[in-house]
């Protein structure tokens, strides 16, 4: 756990309402930050998917797809078989 001291400049009405609703305590701010971080991760994932969809590559054939799956499985098996 890390302790941070935050100083915010907010309009008085926002500060009063947030305080009245309990949004200025540590647990509430933690929840707000967690939700925003999750939202940004999802947004980043969709942005990456959009960029990938924009790449002008032809789709894989069934045999190419099967070869890729086999290669990935072989790499996974090889990495799990190594002594640690």
Round to whole Å and give the CA distance between 30 and 6.
13
Per DSSP, helices labelled H in the chain are 12-20, 26-53, 62-81
Give the list of residues 6+ apart from residue 15 with CB closer than 8 angstroms, or none: 8, 24
Mean pLDDT of the chain: 95
Mean pLDDT over residues 23-29, rounded?
A: 96
Could you tell me which residues come within 8 angstroms of residue 74 by beta carbon, excluding any fewer than 6 positions away?
none
pTM of the model: 0.65
What is the tens place of the pLDDT at every residue in 38-51?
999 999 999 999 99
Residue 80 has pLDDT above 90, yes or no: no
Q: What are the backbone angles phi and psi of residue 11, rounded to the nearest 5°?
A: -60, 145
CA distance 49 to 68: 19
Whole-number percent of the chain with pLDDT over 70? 96
pLDDT at residue 12, as a whole number: 98
């Amino acid at each position: 756990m890390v302790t941070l001291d935050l100083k915010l400049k907010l309009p008085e009405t926002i500060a009063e309402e947030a305080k009245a609703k309990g949004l200025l305590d540590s647990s509430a701010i933690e929840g707000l930050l967690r939700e925003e971080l999750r939202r940004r991760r999802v947004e980043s994932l969709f942005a990456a998917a959009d960029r990938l969809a924009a790449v002008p590559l032809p789709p894989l054939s069934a045999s190419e797809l099967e070869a890729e799956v086999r290669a990935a499985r072989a790499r996974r098996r090889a990495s799990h078989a190594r002594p640690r």
